[in-house]
Amino acid sequence: GQGTLLTTYIPQDGGAPFVVDKRDLTDKHNVCVVYHNPYDNVRELAKIFFERCLEHQVTPYIVTKKTVFKWQEGFWATMKKVFDDEYKDEFLKQGLLDRSGGDLQHLISDAATMQLIRWTDGGFGMAAHNYDGDMLTDQIAQVHRSPGFITSNLVGRNDDGSYIKEFEASHGTVTDLWLDHLAGKETSLNPLGLVEALLGAMSHAARLELDEKPNDKDVQEMHAFVDNFQSTLRTALHNTFRYGQGTRDMCGPTGFTTEDFIAKVAWRLNRYLAQQVEEQAPPELKEGDLAVPKEKLAEFDQKAILKLFEKYDKDGSGKIDFKEFSKMLMKMGV
């Protein structure tokens, strides 16, 4: 109803409370939202974002709506400071700021949506608040013909420095198709985003366990198994699309139903995994030392041999590799 809404801040340290915002509600029907956006993690987000941009050799951009939402200014300011203090020199060195005027650029979210259409060659990365990120990723997926391509990875750090990762699949599209499925209707769901989210969660869980127990043989084997399985499944999934055997969002009316597509991916996955299996484990090869009769050794000056050996055993490992052995033979004129 009509009235006044006050948002009051009460400091934890016992300081004097003060009014953050005052709204006079003049309509008979009103909706009010008080939004809390923690900023302690922005520095860590900045590091993850800039390091990924360097890894993938793309130009970074920061996206906000700070012209309207003034409180987003802190997000941009923090990202810019971390960039200037820790990353700008490396980006300049690698030529990744050539397209952005030699500096980190800010994009209003409206402009970012338009640039997604214009920058068809890729080569850029965008960091934004979560809801802006949802909008931008939705748009990219639709431009590439299917919302099924969407997957969202939320990244943070624990107090011990380990990564926290949450993997999200499609934004709302699965719900509609699930209701159609419950109603007995035929569906054609593109599961790429969903599968990528599941694979990412599997891989991260295996990585966390390996980091916790790096010397545990069972954990090592499980990590290797999960890594190989998720890599092989991803290849099978992508190849099914490449061979024109996708769902209808990509292949039109002749595309596969949900169940037929899954069956085709499963067939391809099982075939790929079967090709990796050997009938028996390969033998462990060990190269033993060459036995030399003692009476034969007595014919040579052992001290001279040791001196010559140490001359070419550069790393002091007690062994001579092929490169060191070759140098020795050339020096001896053999």
Taking only the tens place, the pLDDT of each residue in 56-66 is 999 999 999 99
Mean pLDDT of 67-93: 94
| Residue 313 banded pLDDT, cuts 50, 70, 90 | confident
Mean pLDDT of 154-177: 76
Is the pLDDT higher at 240 or at 159? Answer: 240
Taking only the tens place, the pLDDT of each residue in 202-234 is 999 999 999 999 999 999 999 999 999 999 999
| pTM above threshold 0.75 | no
| Residue 141 banded pLDDT, cuts 50, 70, 90 | confident
Confirm if 32 and 23 have CB atoms less than 8 A apart.
yes
- Residues 6 or more apart from 158 whose CB is under 8 A from it? 164
pLDDT for 77 equals: 95
Is the pLDDT higher at 2 or at 296? Answer: 2
- DSSP three-state, residue 60: strand
The token pair at 113 is 């949506």
pLDDT at residue 185 is higher than 90: yes
Taking only the tens place, the pLDDT of each residue in 95-124 is 999 999 999 999 999 999 999 889 988 999
Mean pLDDT of the chain: 87
pLDDT for 166 equals: 85
pLDDT at residue 164 is higher than 80: yes
Rounded Cα gap, residues 102 and 301, in angstroms: 67
pLDDT for 322 equals: 75
Q: Which helix (H) or strand (E) holds 62?
A: strand 59-64
pLDDT for 287 equals: 55
In the chain the first and final C-alpha atoms are separated, in Å, by: 99
Taking only the tens place, the pLDDT of each residue in 261-298 is 999 999 999 999 998 887 666 666 665 555 556 666 66
Mean pLDDT of 303-308: 76
